[in-house]
Structure 1
Amino acid sequence: MTFRSLLLGTSLTLALFSGVTQAADPIRVAIDPTFPPMEYMNNNQRTGFDVDLADALAKKIGRPLVYTDMDFKAMIPSVLSGRQDIVLSAIYITDDRKKVVDFTDPYFTAGLVVMVKKGDKRITSPKDIAGKRVAVQVGTKSVNLLTEQYPTVQRVEVEKNEEMFNSLEAGRADAVVSGKPAALLYSKTRGTTEVLSEPLTQEDYGIAVSKNEPELRQQLNTALKAIRADGTYDALMKKWFGTGAK
């Protein structure tokens, strides 16, 4: 074997192992696990729709995940500083955020929805809440939306999500206006309520990615398309939000 052949073989081997190492580098994920059912802690383990989604995407890409828990307000700065690669934690795609980070394609349409008792034919679309008793949590977007767009609604204002849902179950309210993830999870768990298919507002969740990592953003988008095509995404929706959830 000539020196040139040996050198070439060594170079190819190093290149191969370099590629394997790079492919196996973990994706560093910023997460705030305090927002069920999207991400939360259960028996000291992270769980939720976003966590399952991240696992599915990582398998498609072929890289492991390393999570760092932090307050929501700290997540984008952690990507900007280079400490984390992505934020996958129920973060809305907004024009202001797009100025500092890139986003993947939307992976979940959230926003505000109307929840009613199952089988209640009086309220089948958002416009039907006019003049009705509607439970909302104080200090949320729901209060402002009803005040501005549905002035005839009789607001039943409560302090906590649980009280809001209890108001509907007990008949003190005809409907609830809540964030989509929480409403879908409650309806799936209890089986006594349903979420109207037409939302009040639509806001998309996306994965925030450093502007310095366009290749990672593309890999995530490709993986998102793949799990939608092979049924994985629908299975996760059914697991966390029930049959028919969109």
Structure 2
Amino acid sequence: MKLRNLLLVGMLSLGAQATAAFAADPIRVAIDPTFPPMEYIQDGKHTGFDIDLAAALSVKMGRKLEYTDMDFKGMIPSVISGRNDIVLSAIYITDERKKVVDFTDPYFTAGLVVMVKKDNNAIQKPSDMAGKRVAVQVGTKSIAFLKENYPEAIRVEVEKNEEMFNSLESGRADAVVTGKPAALLYSKARDTTKVLAEPVTREDYGIAVSKKLPQLREDLNKALKEIKADGTYDKLIVRWFGKTPG
């Protein structure tokens, strides 16, 4: 009887040690650090909204993060193959991606938005773009979306992101249609423009998680709820975008 008890205690002890060791394992994160303000490299270090968000989640979960930089197209395959556990890199939640990975609850509503000069009162909602000059970047989905949904807008097509913003500042365009994070960051930095409250499209970012790690997904969702409840999330939004979530 005593021997059986000793064996049981030993087994429980080993189980507890294994659980502690698992909890101490770093979360392997796939990331494409080329998308400011969400994630990018500055002074040789990862920085951005997603990086700060990941750090806050790491603290709540009591697990370290281990980043692997790669091209955007390689991130999901790296999780499927088991080389990484999650993708936390401004990735949209889509039905197609849900077939191969799981997603946490959404943590940021992105999509396309309209940005205008601060003193522009003629464009107050997307439908006001009719007959107005709207700058869009070649190669992005903004062009096709405007053609299909806002055909009366006069497209000003430019090659680079900075040209798009410059055309608005110089008066060559009345508005810009671009991704929400970039528009918010620009408006915060320059203080000469504003982002309309009504978005053009709504698309949610989520954390992609290996289908083999359902507990990790639950832990991430729990940590997300906690940082939203204690105000940490709102502080990150204000820090990076200069406004409260909307």
> 1:131 corresponds to which residue?
131
Q: CA deviation at 1:26?
A: 0.7
> 2:31 corresponds to which residue?
31
Structure 1 gap ranges (5+): none
Query: Residues of 1 paired with 2:155 and 2:50: CA distance?
Result: 32
Q: CA deviation at 1:146?
A: 1.2
Once the two structures are superposed, the pairs formed by residues 63-82 of structure 1 within 5 Å of their partners are: 63-82=63-82
> 2:213 corresponds to which residue?
213
> 1:176 corresponds to which residue?
176
> 2:159 corresponds to which residue?
159
Deviations 1:176-233 (A, max 9, x none): 0001110000000111101001000011111111111111111111111111111111
Q: Does 1:241 align with 2:241?
A: yes
> 2:58 corresponds to which residue?
58
Q: CA deviation at 1:120?
A: 1.4
Q: Does 1:223 align with 2:223?
A: yes
Contact 1:113 1:200 in 2 (8 A): yes
Contact 2:234 2:244 in 1 (8 A): no
Q: Does 1:122 align with 2:126?
A: no
Aligned residues: 245
Contact 1:184 1:245 in 2 (8 A): no
Q: CA deviation at 1:3?
A: 5.4
Query: Residues of 1 paired with 2:147 and 2:13: CA distance?
Result: 67
Q: CA deviation at 1:240?
A: 0.6
- TM-score, normalized by length of structure 1? 0.95
Query: Residues of 2 paired with 1:197 and 1:162: CA distance?
Result: 22
> 1:112 corresponds to which residue?
112
Percent identity, please: 71
Query: Residues of 1 paired with 2:22 and 2:98: CA distance?
Result: 27
Deviations 1:24-74 (A, max 9, x none): 111000000001111000011000111111111111111110000011111
SS in 2 for 1:115: strand
Larger mean CA deviation between 13-22 and 144-153 belongs to 13-22
Q: CA deviation at 1:17?
A: 2.5
- TM-score, normalized by length of structure 2? 0.95
Query: Residues of 2 paired with 1:167 and 1:76: CA distance?
Result: 36
SS in 2 for 1:136: strand
> 2:45 corresponds to which residue?
45
Deviations 1:114-136 (A, max 9, x none): 00011311111111111001111
Q: What amino acid is the match of 2:133?
A: R
> 2:141 corresponds to which residue?
141
> 1:188 corresponds to which residue?
188
SS in 2 for 1:176: strand
Query: Residues of 2 paired with 1:175 and 1:36: CA distance?
Result: 21
Q: CA deviation at 1:150?
A: 1.3
